[in-house]
Structure 1
Amino acid sequence: MLAGMPSSSSTGPIAGPGAAGALSDVTRDDASLRRFLHGLPGVDQVGCDARAASLGTRSIKTTAKAAAIDLAIEMVDLTTLEGQDTPGKVRALASKAMRPDPTDASCPATAAVCVYPDLVATARETLGDSGVHVAAVATAFPSGRAALPVKLADTRDAVEAGADEIDMVIDRGAFLSGHYLQVFEEIVAVREACGDDAHLKVIFETGELQTYDNVRRASWLAMLAGAHFIKTSTGKVQPAATPPVTMIMLEAVRDWREATGQMVGVKPAGGIRTTKDALKYLVMVNEVAGQDWLDPDWFRFGASTLLNDLLMQRTKLSTGRYSGPDYVTLD
């Protein structure tokens, strides 16, 4: 257990001032890693659900709401991950990411476009030097069930094609079986395959992790392995992102910075469809992790339909009228 760590916690910091030095030794073998992860304080499920619900009652009004909507747009990883995806669909999505509202040049671009690895080159060509990143899912997405050489080849192919960000999935079967060092080593290997050219987001598929304690353990495991972002879900399993699991992950990155001085980003993905939902998450980011995370470099929304609602609400604030259903393009 880390120096200064309390024996139990629901929402408070879980790492003490001596944590940074202690962390260097916890991954030396499977027993040490298991001891560390199971030494993390358990999550009070009732308290966690209650606090997440309480944060969801906060409201953002007038000019602050307009600024929050623009920030949410800038945080969107505009995503298409379907078997029927085509180069034409990806080009259209990339164009929308760069200019979400063609009628309003003041509307900000999204953070990234997220696609399968074989469509990275198409997205890269369309986005050019716009500043919108190309994210690619990899490592046998969404199951994570493939041999490590396959996962690494998948990652390298995406980076070579122009991906700025890799969204990998952990092997949930290995994690739930307690093979933590195996999961750790795979994350380390994938980060190395990203080289210096791509950031790594690690997807937990929280809907399959079964407990809030496992969400906390997965968060720390991924950060120990060098993740740049931790991400809730693939969007292919329900439940996907939820306020309680996102809050646990925000607590983890907050405590990680306290322990190490390093920031790690958070990305809830799947099921976030409305402006109201997005603003609730921004309130949670501010209240739990802090203002430093209110930045696309440190917080993202993985979404396909959220952007449309953000655009319609943005227009409502500027014109006083709701747009018709034909105002925005279908994704």
Structure 2
Amino acid sequence: MPAKEVLDFDLAWINSIKVEDAEIKSRVSTAKFADPKSIGENLTSAAIKNVITVIDLASLVGTETPESIAELCRKAVSPMDEADGEIKVPKDPSVHCATVCIYPARIQDAVESLKSSGADKSVLVAAVAAGFPSGAYPLHTRLAEVAYAVSAGAQEIDVVIDRSLVLRGLWQQLYEELVQIRKACGEATLKVILSVTECGGFTNIYRASATAMLAGADFVKTSTGKEAVTASLNEGLVMCCAIKAFYNRTGIKVGLKPAGGVRTLETAISWLLLVKQELGPEWADPKLFRIGSSALKVFANYLNNTN
């Protein structure tokens, strides 16, 4: 997708943002996207296929080899092969993961594997970069890592912000860092990881989301998956509120990517319902919604048994 436009920083807007914690929690507690009955009613074949097609299939353990990356790519291209027993679902080439998400050192392995299978146009290569998962490295080293990832063939870049800037309220500095990262990405899709459970509250999550979007983020992402506490629908709703406000101000659509803790189909469906209900059905598309997960087998088995 074309790179998002970098907009002028608006500190007055950022500072004006205030989020009432009780209101967010109340909305989530009564929302259909968090209601087990509603989630159960949406466990349909179509919804499960939707979930599979928005997955960024991750392998971020640190022990990956060329062989394990080739296997990851195979799973992303043919997810139903992961189901146990006889495959009951008709072969559908459109049902594949959106990307494989890996460390920069393994990008070329993924590029070669997808190209050799003829799937390089359907499943893209995403890489974490910019000092993942801490973001606590000098900016020039983070920029160099992003530039390397793009040059190695990554079409999407997932970067994590320096949360110390959020906790200190240094929004201008956060914006300026992300603008440089946006430029280093070139035409690659930029997903900005906020590590929301380490941001110090809902107001900071909203402000960090808004800052990232002004700096040209294509997606705002909840988590690295390495945090002690994973993101909940509460944080997801705050991010959706920020995305909606940004769209109303600018006409620019920014995507959402929950990651970390999405290990069950029910959890994945709840996030899918969140974006549909809060942002609109057009946000259920891979261009605007992703799920970072490695639980593909769970989803494939459920789809296989639903048919």
TM-score, length basis structure 2:
0.89
2:300 to 311, 317, 320: 311
- 1:232/1:246 contact within 8 Å kept: yes
- The root-mean-square deviation of aligned C-alpha atoms, in Å, is 1.8
Aligned AA (2:207):
R
Matched, 1:86 2:76: no
Matched, 1:72 2:51: yes
Matched, 1:251 2:241: yes
Aligned AA (1:36):
W
- Offset of 1:146 from its aligned partner? 1.1
- 2:127/2:149 contact within 8 Å kept: yes
Q: What is residue 286 of structure 1 aligned with on the other side?
A: 276
- 1:241/1:272 contact within 8 Å kept: no
Matches of 2:196 and 2:141 in 1, distance apart?
Answer: 23
- Offset of 1:109 from its aligned partner? 0.3
Matches of 2:209 and 2:122 in 1, distance apart?
Answer: 28
- Offset of 1:85 from its aligned partner? 1.7
Q: What is residue 18 of structure 1 aligned with on the other side?
A: none
Q: What is residue 112 of structure 1 aligned with on the other side?
A: 99
Matches of 2:146 and 2:136 in 1, distance apart?
Answer: 14
Aligned AA (1:192):
K
Q: What is residue 19 of structure 1 aligned with on the other side?
A: none
Q: What is residue 22 of structure 2 aligned with on the other side?
A: 46
Q: What's the secondary structure of 2:245's corresponding residue? A: helix
Matched, 1:189 2:166: no
Residue 63 to residue 189, structure 1, CA distance change in 2 (3 Å): closer
- 2:135/2:161 contact within 8 Å kept: yes
- 2:7/2:216 contact within 8 Å kept: no
Aligned AA (1:154):
E
Q: What is residue 262 of structure 1 aligned with on the other side?
A: 252
Matches of 1:194 and 1:89 in 2, distance apart?
Answer: 26
**Which has the greater radius of gyration?**
1
Moved over 6 A (4+): 61-64
Matches of 1:151 and 1:139 in 2, distance apart?
Answer: 4
Matches of 1:210 and 1:219 in 2, distance apart?
Answer: 13
Q: Deviations over 1:83-130 (max 9, x none)?
A: 212221111001100001134522710011000001011111111224
Uncovered stretches (5+) of structure 1, i.e. residues with no partner: 1-22, 319-331
Uncovered stretches (5+) of structure 2, i.e. residues with no partner: 1-5, 82-86
Q: Which has the higher contact order (CA 8 A, sep 6+)?
A: 2
- 2:42/2:269 contact within 8 Å kept: no
- Offset of 1:61 from its aligned partner? 6.2
- 1:98/1:130 contact within 8 Å kept: no
- Offset of 1:171 from its aligned partner? 0.6
Q: How does 1:194-273 map to 2 (within 5 A)?
A: 194-196=185-187, 198-273=188-263
- 1:142/1:169 contact within 8 Å kept: yes
- Offset of 1:180 from its aligned partner? 1.4
Q: What is residue 98 of structure 1 aligned with on the other side?
A: 77
- Offset of 1:298 from its aligned partner? 0.3
Matched residue pairs, number?
A: 287
Q: What is residue 36 of structure 1 aligned with on the other side?
A: 13
- 1:94/1:113 contact within 8 Å kept: yes
Q: What's the secondary structure of 1:101's corresponding residue? A: helix
Residue 239 to residue 61, structure 1, CA distance change in 2 (3 Å): closer
Q: What is residue 322 of structure 1 aligned with on the other side?
A: none
Matches of 1:92 and 1:214 in 2, distance apart?
Answer: 39
Q: Deviations over 1:243-296 (max 9, x none)?
A: 111111111111211111110000010001111111111111111111110101
Aligned AA (2:259):
A
- Offset of 1:314 from its aligned partner? 0.4
Matched, 1:295 2:285: yes
- Offset of 1:64 from its aligned partner? 7.0
Aligned AA (2:185):
C
